Amino acid sequence: MPNIVIVGAQWGDEGKGKVIDIYAPRADYIVRYQGGNNAGHTVVIGKDSFILHLIPSGILHKGKICVIGNGVVVDPKALLEEIEMLESKGISVKGRLFLSEQAHIIFPYHRKLDEMKEERKGKIGTTKKGIGPCYADKCARVGIRVADLLDDDVLKEKLADTLNEKNALLKKIYDAEGFIFDALYREYTDYARRLREYTCNTVVILNEAIRKNKRILFEGAQGTLLDVDHGTYPFVTSSNATAGGASTGTGVGPTKIDKVIGIVKAYTTRVGEGPFPTEFPPELMEKIRKKGKEFGATTGRPRRCGWFDSIVVKHSVMVNGIDEIVVTKLDVLDDLESLKVCVGYRCEGRFFKNFPTNIRILEQCEPVYEELPGWQEDTTKVISYTKLPKYAKAYLRRIQTILDTKIVLISVGSDRKQTFSRE
């Protein structure tokens, strides 16, 4: 297996955790390269369900090395809780999990500022986990990294300076209480003690692995339309969820990446605010949400649901350089008499074949649909492409033709076994 990047090609929640779990047995290293514990990757193994927010999904496979790269922002409390959860289920991470010294650390003031800004400025739809404010500190060059956390003198100095600024901001702008240095310092020095054994220079580890012809799987979080540069800005996350983030978020050069695989649902969902041209009407929304269990793995928020939007996915294919597509949750559409696929947008007398960058235009766009017959048969027990209903295969063929990108895998349920090749 070559070095592969797995990306979400819609607004996240496409089923990346399951797909990573499928590809992981053929990889040597599995690497998270962006985002934080605002992600939620779910893997179902038999009767057990694992929801991972920071640790790569490949940790569920024995012998695999998992890396949290420099592009990830890390809440130490959340990471340690995740480690404890895995250990309690008999999955050891010691000697298998490595955390980048260059990753930035989330503090309580990041979460507080996230919450305050969301309430004061109007909703973006953040998870209020402190992700955005932490990335803002990183870009402003005032962030505290893992390496700083492990150096007591540096931590004291940086934390004291940062708290002066953050407490003043909380008080003067949001009329909120700040944080006490001593309590925060004690809490985070304890995290440093517990995380030290996992921390190293992951850039060196990964590039040395590539030199030895080891196989690396890069695990993206969120989705392309939530990318801070290429998504529906400002209704986006604060990192590069596209394939390019795999290089900047790990220190592995782009020439060392061989393939990009995009994950899409057979329909479309998004969480939070922002334009969504193909959104279902309420009755169908509730039906699909219930059948697809469309509630956030991180927040539990109900997801908005809509028809498959090929304009969104063609945009993702382009900006990620996607080579192959995996389609998930085909089974959720089993009961529908007919299906729609968005093939363009109309707005103010104009027809759009490409994704508009102007958010005002996107908000006013009306989708142009092709209608296809539904199959109205249960697909959850199907184990090969040839056994799919006639119209399910027609639906997939049409999507593949519109995207001009090969579909390689199809998922018809949450379990590992409910996945088969398009071949």
- Domains in the chain (CATH in brackets) are 4-100+199-260 (3.40.440.10), 104-195 (1.10.300.10), 265-320+328-421 (3.90.170.10)
What pLDDT score does 122 carry? 60
Could you tell me the pTM of the whole model? Answer: 0.94
pLDDT in tens, 215-273: 999 999 999 999 999 999 999 999 999 999 999 999 999 999 999 999 999 999 998 88
Closest CA to 76 of 58, 103, 43, 42: 103
Annotation says 335 is catalytic: no
Question: Residues 121, 124, 126, CA angle at the centre, nearest 5°?
Answer: 110
The single residue of 21, 41, 53, 331 carrying the catalytic annotation is 41
Task: Measure the CA–CA gap between 286 and 297, rounded to whole angstroms.
Answer: 18
CA angle, 269 then 49 then 131, to 5°: 55
Q: Which residues pair with 41 in a beta bridge?
A: 52
- Known catalytic membership, residue 13: yes
Would you state the pLDDT for residue 18? 87
- pLDDT at position 1 is 65
pLDDT of residue 40: 76
Per-residue model confidence (pLDDT) at position 258: 97
Among residues 41, 33, 37, 5, which one has the least CA distance to residue 328?
41
The label of the residue with tokens 């379990």 reads 415
DSSP letter at 186 equals: H
How does pLDDT run across 363-389, given as a tens digit for each residue? Answer: 999 999 999 999 999 999 999 999 999
